Amino acid sequence: MKKINRDGANGSFMLDRREFIIAGLALAATSMLPNIAVAAPTKQPQMLARRKLGGTLEVSALGLGCMNFAWAYGPPTDRQHAIKVIRAAYERGVTFFDTAEVYGPFLSEEMVGEALAPIRDHVIIATKFGFEVDPITEQRRGLNSRPEYIKRVAEGCLKRLKTDTIDLFYQHRVDPNVPIEDVAGAVKDLIQEGKVRHFGLSEAGGATIRRAHAVLPVTAVQNECSVWTRDPEHEVLPTCEELGIGFVPWSPLGMGYLTGAITPSTPFDPQSDLRAGFPRFTPEARRANRPVVELLQRVGRRKDATSGQVALAWLLAKKPWIVPIPGTTKLNHLEENLGALKVQLSAKDVKEIDDGFASIQVQGARAPEALLAIHDIGANLGTSSAGGHGLSPLPRQDRKE
């Protein structure tokens, strides 16, 4: 057959006439399809520092929290933009992506699944179960960690994430109606079936962590923690260190406050932004808590770093098994967050931050009472699960009737 030369004089790439026609028809057909996805990443990803959760699960030292794309701090982000940011994070070396069924609901998992499908084998995806969500109306119906429900949720998560295995499956909140041993047992079944690789807990206290770990090794605990939210320091971090469990601080930038970008006049839409109803985010509290930002800024000036970068570097300097997951919907904020990995805080710097914070009286609780009430005993500041069993009920055979 007659050849059509596509490479000038050297003739190194050639198609026969039939192949050329088929290729042309395929190209034409493709051009008529709607533009429904951002092109897959083509750049060789950069290398970021790595850390291990639970001693076995290796992830980038900073992850990407993907809640913000779908929910909580404003209306949902445009899907294509969200995919672009998630893939940009991967190209910059991020391998750890955190989402949950309830974010949206479902929308965050769908975005993460679509964004990471072309590079699935190169990333770690964490998601969560524990809230009952109507699949039709998307109405949230409170907590539900019954074993049969966990397994049903897992199937939906796998579908939305476009994968056959969830790398890290967290219980989103401790269920006061289901023994944590039953929860761990259900996840253990999913691991044996190959649908889950690792087990995690979120907003759990020390007693619950220990009980779960006795049934199935807990790889990571994800509780809120930052320079101005020290709740885990009392019992959760010591428990994690003792048992060899990784710690993943959510909201490591204080829901954006520690970046210094939020002022007393910053508006929060009560219809789409949770912070509008948080005690720590009233205009008065934002004004009163400014010394926390100023403390970080003072350290940052010596390090040529922003207050947000210092806040992340502070967490990274605390323990080698801590992996913060700042969330953002903006590329420039992503770049800024990753810049925290270049900020080296000495023991003296960390002490300066800790001592400075100790002299500041933070105004406002980190969440409304209703939300704090579903955090486990020992997960909130001023509470302790020592000598108890946390919010999770004991298995029937262990109860004293």
Domain extents in the chain: 50-388
- The alpha-carbon radius of gyration of the chain (Å, integer) is 23
User: Is 170 assigned a catalytic role?
Assistant: no
Tens digit of pLDDT for each residue in 193-247?
999 999 999 999 999 999 999 999 999 999 999 999 999 999 999 999 999 999 9
pTM of the model: 0.90
Tens digit of pLDDT for each residue in 262-302?
999 999 999 999 999 999 999 999 999 999 999 999 999 99
Fold of 50-388: TIM Barrel (3.20.20)
Please state which of the ranges 22-31, 100-109, 311-320 shows the lowest mean pLDDT.
Answer: 22-31
Structure tokens at 218: 């807990």
Tens digit of pLDDT for each residue in 328-371?
999 999 999 999 999 999 999 999 999 999 999 999 999 999 99
- Return the SS3 of 349: helix
Express as a percent the part of the chain with pLDDT over 90: 87
Cis peptide upstream of residue 232 (ω within 30 degrees of 0): no
Residue 131 DSSP symbol: E
Q: Distances in Å between the alpha carbon of 76 and those of 35, 89, 106, 135, 307?
A: 20, 19, 12, 19, 27
What is the per-residue pLDDT for 1? 34
Tens digit of pLDDT for each residue in 56-109?
999 999 999 999 999 999 999 999 999 999 999 999 999 999 999 999 999 999
Residue 233 backbone zone (phi > 0: left; psi -120 to 50: alpha; other: beta): alpha
Tens digit of pLDDT for each residue in 111-131?
999 999 999 999 999 999 999
List of residues 6+ apart from 356 with CB closer than 8 A: 295
- Sole residue written with tokens 């770093």: 305
Annotated active-site residue in 103, 149, 170, 257: 103
What is the per-residue pLDDT for 42? 58
What is the per-residue pLDDT for 39? 66
